[in-house]
Amino acid sequence: MPKSAHQQDELQDRINKSLWLIGILSFFFLILLIRIFYIQVIRAETNIRLSKENQMQLKVIKAPRGYIYDRNGVILARNRPSYSIGVLPYKMDKKVDVVANLLKIRDAQGEPIFDSLKLYKRIKKAKRRRFDITRLKEDVSIDIISILEEHAMELPGILVQTEARREYPLGPVSFHILGYMSEIAEEKFDSLKAMGYNYGDNIGQSGLEKQYEPILRGKDGIEYIEVNAYGRSLGPIEHMPRIEPIKGNDLHLTVDSRLQQVIHDTFPDTLKGAVVAINPQNGEVLVMYSSPSLDPNIFSLATSLRAKSWSEAARDPNLPLNNRATSGTYPPGSTFKLVSGLAGIDSDRVNARAFMHRSCTGAYRIGNRVAKCWYAKGHGRLSLRDAVKVSCNVYFYQLGLKTGDNIINQYAENLGLGNLTGIDLPHEKKGWLSGEEAYNKRFAYRNWKWTKGLVLDLAIGQAQTFTPIQMALMVGGLGNKRALYQPFLLRDVTDSEGELIHRIAPEIKRTLNFKEQSLIDIEKAMEEVIVGAGGTGRRSRVPGVRVGGKSGSAENPHGEKTHGLFVACAPLENPVIAIAAVVENAGHGGTVAAPLIGAVLNHFFLETKEGQQYVDPKVLTKLKKKT
């Protein structure tokens, strides 16, 4: 068949093009071949060594967690080294009875460290994850570790791991502020995995450990290590990427651990309650204590011990895990008279210097109801100042009726009551202000309706509930007069080199616009409570410092005795500490709560440098001579 020149050209073109394509293809295959030759022949020795018995392991280098310091640099939380025994099942040798050998190990008291039944179960479970290390025993003493090291040949697959555990040097003194750490729960692990958490990692579970988990945590590193046939590390492998762990950042708190210690020592062990002190000039929390407290170190113990202490704590009817300072809600009792008194005179419904329409005869009648004063004999005619000092109910019943629930609640709200304070701790409670609207809403399901008589309870603080930190904020606001500062625990964040990376600036939560005269009247009344004859707060006196305060006793359905409360601030001219104390079911505030506050205030003003500058120097030298 004849072929045209055109067909010839086309054929040549096809051959040329396909040859070019074959050439390019072969070039790429040559690259592959050269590279394969390089790893399989030239680098063979290294690769064979790395693959033998699978000696290379990816190891996570745990980042040390940041420390927590108090305002004076005292360590509140740090890390300690701890050893644990683990098993890597695929390294176990069928010829060696590892379990039997492990059971032979005894501690210093001659007790075997493993329980045979539990050990069998645990190893059986571990075998399901053949290539993962499963922990058999945590927090083992160094003596036992050296025994293990000696007998490593008889224990193939058993390895020792070093890890850091959280330690709280001051124990129960600041438990509720710091919180505690524990292993991530199985069901929560999946959501945390994406954030770089590994199986078995610890995470902050409450308090600041939880609140500032991302700051404290740091960033885990990674390295490739060479492991021998017994699973012992031979160190990192050269030329393999290594990512250094980054230590978590340190927290510097506003809290003074000395004051914490004072309150921990003074608070009766058998009683429940809370004490909170803040600096009303900037919102720094100086003291936060909730009783009963716990030693957070128990949560860093080995799992078996930890589980026991955990279930004990969780089942304790006294609820030691609750931070009562921020999540306990209590009726404020007569401490609220400061607020209703201020509301009455500041809104001009009541004249501070005048007497009430009816004098106190020990009871007050409204409609069918007879509302009693705590003093059955009656206080007689009183001005506001005296009414606060002796805490006369009948005076405040009348004040409540004149002022009304709305106005009183406005003042309470302005002073931060019945609202979240925004403290940097998890699980803060809000409390409740009461009042007509709130009452009808809350009890609608019971078909209860607000009546005018209920304003009597509201005026004397038996209707609403607040947290202790709200009460400290309130009395601080009365002392500061101009502003309510947002309370906070974390002041500075520093990195591992101690360099300041973040400082929390004080923040004004609300500005206060009360009349100067009303505030002075309230202030005078508060001082009378402490120093006046018949005042309930003499147990909170501090020599050389003007203290103002108010006691309260809250009736409650849970116990025969009332909750004892006390709020105070000092020095009255320009307070630097505002403090509230609540003691559950313990009696009158003046007898049970005021001494706690007295202890803190006395230590603060007389023992710490920070407080001493506010005390008359003559008083200080006099006191020194005495001791």
Partner 1 sequence: MNYLYKKHHFDFSLFFAALLLWVSGAFLVYSATHIHTTGQLAGVFKSQLVWMFLGVVVILVVVSIPTRFYYHFSYVIYGFSLLLLLYVIFTGIVSKGAGRWIAIGGIRLQPSEFAKIGLLFALAHYLSKNPISLMRISSFIMPGILIIVPFLMVLKQPDLGTALVFCVMSLPMFYWAGMSLLEIVFAISPGFSIVLSAIPLIVAYGTTEAVGIGGAIPWGIFFIVLCLTLYFTRPPTFLIIAVIALNLLAATSTTILWNSFLKDYQKVRIISFINPQADPKGAGYQVIQSKVAIGSGHIFGKGYLQGTQTRLSYLPEQHTDFIFSVLGEQFGLIGCIAILMLFLFILIRSLTATHSIRNRFINLFVVGAVSIIGFHIFVNIAMTIGIMPVTGLPLPFLSYGGSFTITVAALLGLILNAKVGNQDF
Q: Which of 516, 552, 523 is nearest to 384 (CA)?
A: 523
The distance of closest approach from Cβ of residue 216 to partner 1 in the complex, given in angstroms and rounded to an integer, is 21
Site for partner 1 in 194-253 (CB under 8 A): 222, 224, 240-241, 243
The distance of closest approach from Cβ of residue 562 to partner 1 in the complex, given in angstroms and rounded to an integer, is 56
Residue 498 binds partner 1 (CB under 8 A)? no
Cα-to-chain-centroid distance, residue 38: 57
Helices 337-346 and 393-403 sit at what angle, rounded to 10 degrees?
A: 50
Site for partner 1 in 343-372 (CB under 8 A): none
Segment interacting with partner 1, rule: CB under 8 A, options 33-41, 203-211, 307-315, 426-434: 33-41
Segment interacting with partner 1, rule: CB under 8 A, options 45-53, 305-313, 329-337, 389-397: 45-53
Q: Which of 180, 223, 199 is nearest to 65 (CA)?
A: 180
In the bound state with partner 1, the residue whose beta carbon lies nearer, of 190 and 560, is 190
Among 15, 354, 500, 508, binds partner 1 (CB under 8 A): 15
Among 4, 9, 37, 92, binds partner 1 (CB under 8 A): 37
Indicate the DSSP class of residue 585.
T
Q: Which residues pair with 288 in a beta bridge?
A: 276
Q: How far apart are CA 113 and CA 122, in angstroms?
A: 14
Structure tokens at 58: 């990816």
Q: CB–CB of 255/288 below 8 Å?
A: yes
Q: How far apart are CA 584 and CA 272, in angstroms?
A: 5
Q: What's the one-letter identity of residue 228?
A: N
- Phi and psi (nearest 5°) for 94? -65, -25
Q: What's the one-letter identity of residue 11?
A: L
Q: What share of the chain is helix, strand, coil (3-state, %, to 5)?
A: 40, 20, 35
Site for partner 1 in 599-618 (CB under 8 A): none
Among 4, 6, 9, 44, binds partner 1 (CB under 8 A): 44
Beta-strand relationship, 273-278 and 285-291: antiparallel
How many angstroms separate the Cα of 598 from the Cα of each of 268, 413, 528, 612?
14, 28, 16, 15
Indicate the DSSP class of residue 391.
T
Q: Which of 215, 247, 296 is nearest to 489 (CA)?
A: 215
Q: How far apart are CA 57 and CA 610, in angstroms?
A: 54
Among 11, 234, 444, 520, binds partner 1 (CB under 8 A): 11
In the bound state with partner 1, the residue whose beta carbon lies nearer, of 19 and 100, is 19
In the bound state with partner 1, the residue whose beta carbon lies nearer, of 232 and 353, is 232
Instruction: Give 197: exposed, middle or buried? Use CB within 10 Å, 0-12, 13-18, 19+.
Output: middle
The distance of closest approach from Cβ of residue 336 to partner 1 in the complex, given in angstroms and rounded to an integer, is 51
In the bound state with partner 1, the residue whose beta carbon lies nearer, of 241 and 367, is 241
The distance of closest approach from Cβ of residue 39 to partner 1 in the complex, given in angstroms and rounded to an integer, is 4
The distance of closest approach from Cβ of residue 70 to partner 1 in the complex, given in angstroms and rounded to an integer, is 33
What is the CB-side half-sphere exposure of residue 484 using CA atoms within 13 A? 25
Among 2, 4, 6, 26, binds partner 1 (CB under 8 A): 26
Among 4, 5, 58, 235, binds partner 1 (CB under 8 A): 58
Q: How far apart are CA 32 and CA 145, in angstroms?
A: 49
Among 21, 229, 307, 370, binds partner 1 (CB under 8 A): 21
In the bound state with partner 1, the residue whose beta carbon lies nearer, of 47 and 574, is 47
Q: How many residues of this chain bind partner 1 (CB under 8 A)?
A: 44
How many angstroms separate the Cα of 390 from the Cα of each of 26, 213, 370, 471?
103, 47, 20, 20
Indicate the DSSP class of residue 200.
T
Residue 41 binds partner 1 (CB under 8 A)? yes
One symbol per residue from 107 to 146: x for binding partner 1 (CB under 8 A), - otherwise; what is it?
Answer: ------------------------x---------------
The distance of closest approach from Cβ of residue 30 to partner 1 in the complex, given in angstroms and rounded to an integer, is 10
Residue 623 binds partner 1 (CB under 8 A)? no
DSSP H or E stretch at residue 31 = helix 5-37
The distance of closest approach from Cβ of residue 62 to partner 1 in the complex, given in angstroms and rounded to an integer, is 14
Residue 501 binds partner 1 (CB under 8 A)? no
Q: Which of 518, 329, 489, 341 is nearest to 419 (CA)?
A: 329
The distance of closest approach from Cβ of residue 92 to partner 1 in the complex, given in angstroms and rounded to an integer, is 14
Structure tokens at 156: 């193939």
One symbol per residue from 72 to 111: x for binding partner 1 (CB under 8 A), - otherwise; what is it?
Answer: ------------------x---------------------
Segment interacting with partner 1, rule: CB under 8 A, options 8-16, 182-190, 515-523, 613-621: 8-16
The distance of closest approach from Cβ of residue 12 to partner 1 in the complex, given in angstroms and rounded to an integer, is 10
The distance of closest approach from Cβ of residue 158 to partner 1 in the complex, given in angstroms and rounded to an integer, is 19
Residues at the interface with partner 1 (CB under 8 A): 1, 3, 7, 10-11, 14-15, 17-18, 20-22, 25-26, 28-29, 31-33, 35-37, 39-41, 43-44, 46-48, 50-54, 56, 58, 90, 131, 222, 224, 240-241, 243
